Every structure is written in C-alpha cells, then in structure tokens.
Structure 1
Amino acid sequence: MKMRKRTIGVLAATFAAAALPLVAASPASADQGDCEYSLHEAGYRIGPKVEAACKSGAEFSATAYSTCLFSLLNIGVRSDHAQRACGIAHA
C-alpha cells in the first residue's frame, strides 16, 4: 500500500513538472499573427511589408511599437488601424 501511494505521488509530480512548461509557455498576449489578422479584418492585403511591420511590433524592445506604426503608416495603412494593429502586436 505504501509503495502504491509513493508511485502515485511520483507520477503526479512528474505530470506536474511536464505540464508546467506548457502552461508557462502559453501566450499571455497577442503577437505578429494577431496584428496581421487585425489588418486583414480592416480590409488590408497582407503581404511582406505588413508581415515585416507586425513582426517588428511583436519584438520585445523599446522601439517595437513605433517601428511597427511608422512602417504601416508608410505603406498607406490608416492611422487608427495601424495603432490598433501595432498595439495588438506589442501587447
């Protein structure tokens, strides 16, 4: 009986240790794909320039949002759409 409880305890600990990285790795915020989808929903065609802008917006840097925003504005995305998409990418 004692051995069975110990085995169950070990299996439970192993399962918890295996599941922890999956829980920790789940996205807590949006990303490049969500930025692109936001623009797609607003009626824009998603090409290499939009992909690059959204990718830069999803980076972890102090200038990521502004780089994304200026890139989208330079290719003709309306200001409110660009702000929303870059905000989503940078969130």
Structure 2
Amino acid sequence: MKLKRAVGALTVAFAAIALPLVVASPASADQGDCQFYLIDRGYKVGPKVVSACKEGAEAWGPTRWPLCYYGLVNIGVRQEDAAGACTAAGW
C-alpha cells in the first residue's frame, strides 16, 4: 500500500512539473511584443525585423532569446534595444 501511495505522489509531482512544459509552445511567445518595442524606439519594422522576432518566437527553450537578440543586432538594431525587444516578448 505504501508503494502505491509513493508512486501516486511521484506521478502527481511529475505531472505538476511536466505539464507546463508540455502545454507551453513556441507560439506562446509573442513576436508582436518584440516588434512593438522596436517601433516605440523609433525603428522601422520591415521584413528583417519581423524575421528576427519570428525566429525567437519559433525557437524552443533557451535558444529563443539569443536567436532574437543576434538576429536583431545583425541587422543594425542597437544592442540595448535588441535586448529590450527580446525581453519584452518574454523570451
């Protein structure tokens, strides 16, 4: 009986930890926030900015922010603004 309870408790604990990771999807990151942040800073949002923000949104895990950041910096966005845009999007 104790083994069944232990297995049940472990199952509940695992589900509580794993469920948010399974439910969260790359689409939950908002590339629009990235773009709006840059618009507010005076940048023109064209295809290159959209692409950099989209790369961050479509990536999974810890690669989101760096993909967004370096994508923006490589097209001429100031480092501070790129960092802010990617952070504003929640990556």
The interval holding the TM-score normalised by the smaller chain is: 0.5 to 0.7
Please identify runs of 4+ aligned residues in structure 1 that moved more than 3 A: none
Code of the residue aligned with 2:88 in structure 1: it is I
Q: Give the number of equivalent residue pairs.
A: 63
Cα displacement string for residues 47-79 of structure 1 (whole angstroms, at most 9, x for unaligned residues): 111001111222333211101111100111011
Task: Provide the identity percentage.
Answer: 51
Q: Max radius of gyration: which structure?
A: 1
Q: Normalising by structure 1, what TM-score?
A: 0.62
Instruction: Tell me the residue number matched to 1:55.
Output: 54
RMSD of aligned residue pairs (Cα, Å): 1.7
Cα displacement string for residues 14-60 of structure 1 (whole angstroms, at most 9, x for unaligned residues): xxxxxxxxxxxxxxx76101110000110000011100111122233
Code of the residue aligned with 1:32 in structure 2: it is Q
Q: Normalising by structure 2, what TM-score?
A: 0.62
Contact 1:34 1:89 in 2 (8 A): yes
Q: Partners of 1:55 and 1:90 in 2: how far apart?
A: 13
For structure 1, the residue ranges without an aligned partner over 5 or more in a row are 1-28
Q: How does 1:3-82 map to 2 (within 5 A)?
A: 31-59=30-58, 60-82=60-82
For structure 2, the residue ranges without an aligned partner over 5 or more in a row are 1-27
